[in-house]
Structures are given as structure tokens and as C-alpha cells.
Amino acid sequence: MADEQRVLLRALFDDAVAAADPAHCLPPFLPPRPAGRLVVVGAGKAAVSMALAAEAHYGDHCEGLVVTRYAHGLRDGESLRGIAVVEAGHPVPDDTGLEAAWRIKALAAGLREDDLLLCLLSGGASSLLVLPGAGITLQEKQAITRALLNSGAKISEINCVRRHLSGIKGGRLAEAAYPTPTITCAISDVPGDRPGDIGSGPTIGDPTTSLDARLILERYAIPVSPAVAVHLKSGEGESPKPTDLKLSRAEFRVIANADTSLQAAVKRADAAGYRSVVLGGAIEGESKVVAEAHARLASEAIGKGRRLALISGGETTVEVKSPAGQGGRNTEYLLALAWYLRGKAGVSAIACDTDGIDGTGPFAGAIIDSDSVARGKAQGLDASWFLSAHNAGRFFELLGDTVETGPTRTNVNDFRAILIDGT
């Protein structure tokens, strides 16, 4: 792979991440200070960077608590005066997240009408803001979460189940704050920017039902305990609906999304002499299937004398049918793409998670070219075996082709770019 292609691919990803940095994308959406208290709560991988931006904007006039993933908290030299930070489990929730959710809901319930609840949401909030519904234990929610994550279910389906097993999602946080106004500022990590799927919508009325949640669990053959079954059948799990009076003072603002980041990458690719084609910012589907479709598009463009950049975002899935190795949906997509494009000259690609962590690996994703499979074979690495073992991250680690950023403290989901140089 030409060094200039590798440098450009990494620059495209870095620009995509920078475009979703709360330091510059949050302040334009922040409301004026209220007459009473300004309480800031939040959850997600960008929770701390959003809290820092909010406190820089308001100064000493805010208080509250945000919960983020382990290792995504305050860095050396950073501090928050009025907003506490809790680090908790993701993608499977834990006791620390449970305690943080109780504290956040208590803060909301303790407000008055002239106060303001500012809710800061970003990717990962659904796992981090965990408060099981009546009669359900954390262990039961953990088991269902693990099963759904391995099932290949779409994020919208997973979040539908979460909303109906929760005491804080699906509008219940705004319901607890009523009649205090609630303003939510969100960095969207979900295809289509559906408010109810960003953090499973703790401040948004939920049009789905407990029956919908039950059908999803049945569709993916997810076993549930008797307590969960009763919760979903009895009506106890029904969430507040969009027309509920107690949600009438809640407002929702998307401050950054996949398109924000894709456009930043387009600007960079165009400046480098490529014609950018955005395949979509809300692509879903199984990683290998998406890779095959993108490989067909790239193959059609190879050899036509053009320089193209195929750019996309969204959230693919991986259906794990055997014990998984290292990596996640982006490295799995990339290894499948490398397999389909093996031997085709003039093409290279990057796929990374904008939060800096792809699945179980310590890296954001990786970079490939048409020789990736052959280079692996020369080192005794069978790409097809690594792909079937869901161990794509390890394949790229052994090749030295991973992209490592550490936690970026933002998240607009997957970023993918394929460069085709047909000149």
C-alpha cells in the first residue's frame, strides 16, 4: 500500500472524529441558564467531553453527574467543578452503572419547575445508564444484553427491549423530572438518528410496546426468566408514550451524527483529488454482507481511470456462532472486504469505530489493501480462518495494520472509506 494512501485514510478517520468533538459541536445547542438550578446529567462514551464543554460554557452555574465507560473519564490536567464523573461497565452493564443511574434519576426527581435538567447523551448510554424495571435484577438484564449482542439483532431491536426492561429509559427520566423542563443534547451513534434509540431514549416518549419487545426476544430465541416474562406480559414494562403529559416539557437536540463526520471526510478526500461518493451514514446489516456489497462497488470502479473515495457510516452487526476472538464489527468488515478484493490493484480501505474501540480489541479498527490477504498468507495467517473465528482484529494486529487512538470520547459509530485509484 502506498504510504500516501495510508496517510490519507488515517486523516479521513481523524477528521471524522474531530468533527464530532463536543468542544465545538455542543456549545451552539446549549440553552440559556435557568432562573433556578442547572442540573447536568449524562451517559455515554462522550459524557465527560460533553460535560467539560458544558461546564466551560456555563462556568460554576451547573451541577450534576455523568456516567461513562471505563477508561473514558477525565484525563491528566482535566477537572470538573460541579459535575461528578462515574466510570462503569460497557457493553454489559454493571453495579457501578446501576448506582449511577439511581443517582441520576434522584437528581431529576428533586428538581423544581424553575430549574432545568440538561441531559447529555452519546453512544454507549444504553449500557451505562442501567436501572432495571420493577421485579427485574441486574443479573437478568446482563444475561439478556449479552444474548442480544451476540444474536445479530439490530440496535433498534436491542434498544426496544432495553426500554421495556428499564426504570429510566423510554422517557422515564424526563417523567421523573416533570414539571421541570428537560433539554437533551445528543451525539447520535444510531442509524437514522432516532431519538428513542440514542441511549434508549431516557427523555423521549416511546411508541413501541412491551409486545414488540417480547416478539424481538422470541425472534432471536433469547431466553428470559419468569420475572422478565411477567414484567413484559403484565403491563408493568410499558413505557411512557410520546403524548404523555409528563413528557410535554422535554426537548431533544441532535448536535452531531454520522453525516457530520462523513462530510468532514468528504472535504478531505476531495481536496486530495478523489471524487467522493457517500454510500450512506445509516448502513446496517451483517458486517460480512455489507463488505461483500461494498467490494462489488469497488470492483466495478477499478480500472476505469478514476480516483474515487467510497465513504460510509452506520452500524453493522456480527452474529457470533462460535467463541469470538479479538476485534469487532469494523475489523470483521475489513477482513471480509480484503478477502473479496484480494489481488485487485489500486484499492485500499479503512474501517474504524469513532469511539476508538472496535469490539474486544484495544484498537479502533484497521487499514487494508489488495495485498492484505497475501501478506497474511506469507506470514502463515489464513484470512478465512480468522474471519470464521471472528478474530479479524488479531489478524490485523499480527500484520501491523491496526489503527490505535485510545478512547476518543465521542461516538458517531462506524466510519468506513475505500480509496480506488484507477489512474
Give how many domains the chain has, as a whole number: 2
CB 411 within 8 A of CB 123: yes
Domain boundary among 223, 256, 289: 256
Instruction: Examine the pLDDT at 324 and tell me if it is beyond 70.
Output: no
Residues 273 and 217 occupy one common structural domain: no
CA 218 – CA 234 distance, rounded (Å): 17
What is the per-residue pLDDT for 57? 97
CA 137 – CA 134 distance, rounded (Å): 9
The boundaries of the domain holding residue 173 are: 22-256
**Segment 275-304, tens digit of pLDDT:** 999 999 999 999 999 999 999 999 998 878
Neighbours of 356 (CB within 10 A): 23
What is the per-residue pLDDT for 154? 87
Cα–Cα nearest to 120, from 253, 258, 314? 253
The DSSP-derived string for 325-376 is -S--HHHHHHHHHHHHHTT-TTEEEEEEETTS--TTSSSSEEEEETTHHHHH
What is the per-residue pLDDT for 422? 75
CA 79 – CA 48 distance, rounded (Å): 10
Instruction: Examine the pLDDT at 150 and tell me if it is beyond 80.
Output: yes
**Segment 178-232, tens digit of pLDDT:** 999 999 999 999 888 999 999 999 999 999 999 999 999 999 999 999 999 999 9
Instruction: Examine the pLDDT at 323 and tell me if it is beyond 80.
Output: no
CATH number of the structural domain spanning residue 72: 3.40.50.10180
Residues 351 and 381 occupy one common structural domain: yes
What is the per-residue pLDDT for 302? 87
Residues 230 and 319 occupy one common structural domain: no
CA 113 – CA 180 distance, rounded (Å): 4
Please name the amino acid found at residue 252: F
Enter the C-alpha cell of residue 422. Answer: 484507477
| pLDDT band (50, 70, 90) for residue 326 | confident
Residues 199 and 339 occupy one common structural domain: no
What is the average pLDDT score of the chain?
A: 95
Enter the C-alpha cell of residue 397. Answer: 494486529
**Segment 364-420, tens digit of pLDDT:** 999 999 899 999 999 999 999 999 999 999 999 999 999 999 999 999 999 999 999
391, 392, 395, 400: CA torsion to nearest 10: -130
Average pLDDT of the segment spanning 333-352: 95
Residues 48 and 185 occupy one common structural domain: yes
Average pLDDT of the segment spanning 262-272: 98
Residues 215 and 356 occupy one common structural domain: no
Enter the C-alpha cell of residue 290. Answer: 455489507
Q: Burial level of 134, CB count in 10 A (0-12/13-18/19+)?
A: exposed
Residues 289 and 204 occupy one common structural domain: no
Residues 58 and 181 occupy one common structural domain: yes
Residues 337 and 414 occupy one common structural domain: yes
Greater pLDDT, 346 or 333: 333
Q: What percent of the chain has pLDDT over 70?
A: 99
**Segment 9-63, tens digit of pLDDT:** 999 999 999 999 999 999 999 999 999 999 999 999 999 999 999 999 999 999 9
Residues 252 and 263 occupy one common structural domain: no
Greater pLDDT, 226 or 317: 226
Residues 83 and 192 occupy one common structural domain: yes
Please name the amino acid found at residue 388: S
In degrees, to the nearest 5, what angle opens at C-alpha 196 toward C-alphas 195 and 202?
100
Which strand ranges, in their side-by-side order, compose the sheet holding 365-369?
Answer: 275-286, 307-317, 414-421, 347-353, 365-369, 402-403
Parallel, antiparallel or unpaired: strands 182-187 and 250-256:
parallel
